[in-house]
Amino acid sequence: MKQRNQRRERPKETKEQGEARAAERTIAEIAWVPKTEIGKKVKTKEITEIEDMLSTGSPLLEQEIVDILMPGLENDLLMIGQSKGKFGGGQGRVFRQTQKKTKEGNKPNFATLCVVGNKDGIIGLGYGKAKETVPAREKAIRKAKLNVFKIKRGCGSWQCGCGTAHSIPFKVYGKCGSCQVTLFPAPKGTGLVVDREIAKVLTMAGIKDVWSKTLGQQKSKINLIKATEEALKALTTTKIMDHHNAKLSIVDGRKQKKTEA
* Chain contacts with Zn ion (rule: CB under 5 A): 155, 160, 162, 188
> 114 or 155, CB closer to Zn ion?
155
Please state the closest distance from residue 190 (CB atom) to Zn ion, in A: 10
Angle between helices 196-205 and 221-237 (to 10 degrees): 30
> 84 or 188, CB closer to Zn ion?
188
Pairing of strands 179-185, 172-176: antiparallel
Rg, the chain, Cα only: 20
> 129 or 188, CB closer to Zn ion?
188
Cα–Cα dist 67/64, whole Å: 5
> 108 or 187, CB closer to Zn ion?
187
Please state the closest distance from residue 157 (CB atom) to Zn ion, in A: 6
Please state the closest distance from residue 155 (CB atom) to Zn ion, in A: 3
> 162 or 240, CB closer to Zn ion?
162
CB 104 within 8 A of CB 44: no
Q: Which residues contact 26 (CB under 8 A, 6 or more apart)?
A: none
Beta strands in the chain (DSSP E): 74-78, 81-82, 92-93, 96-101, 106-117, 122-130, 149-150, 152-153, 172-176, 179-185, 210-215, 251-252
Please state the closest distance from residue 169 (CB atom) to Zn ion, in A: 10
Please state the closest distance from residue 48 (CB atom) to Zn ion, in A: 31
Cα–Cα dist 211/240, whole Å: 21
